[in-house]
Amino acid sequence: MRPRAPSLSRSLASGWTVQGAYDLGVLIVAIKTHGKRNPASGKIEAPYGEIFEHTQHTLEALNGTLRSAKRQKKVTFEGELLMMPKDAGVALVLLDEGEDQDAKAEATLP
């Protein structure tokens, strides 16, 4: 089963533009798809290099999306700006999987 992106209305309500909400969804799906759950923290983590490889043709500005997601407390990572190949091993940690909000939204659908 493919991970779901956060709902557009929830992303827009938190201050994202339509393109920003789309980019955030692509980023979160990429982390969920290519990452692994850390047993110690229970959070999904994926190396920056792998996410870069899988989103380079989809996201125009991965670093901008990462910085915005970090400000919104959706993801966290060490440093301010990640660069390839130097930071390929830096872990991108998904803080907000959005599962509970998506379940509530789906429950309201007919």
At CA 94, angle to CA 61 and CA 24, rounded to 5?
A: 35
Task: Identify whether the C-beta of residue 73 lies closer than 8 Å to the C-beta of residue 95.
Answer: yes
Question: Quick check: pTM over 0.85?
Answer: no
The per-residue pLDDT for range 21-63, each reduced to its tens digit, is: 888 989 999 999 999 999 999 999 999 999 999 999 989 899 9
Higher-confidence position of 104 and 22 = 22
Domain residue ranges in the chain: 16-107
The per-residue pLDDT for range 64-81, each reduced to its tens digit, is: 999 999 999 999 999 999
Q: What is the CATH number of domain 16-107?
A: 1.10.10.1540
Q: Give strand pairing partners of 44.
A: 37, 94
pLDDT value of residue 10? 53
For residue 36 the two structure tokens come to: 């692994």
pLDDT value of residue 109? 54
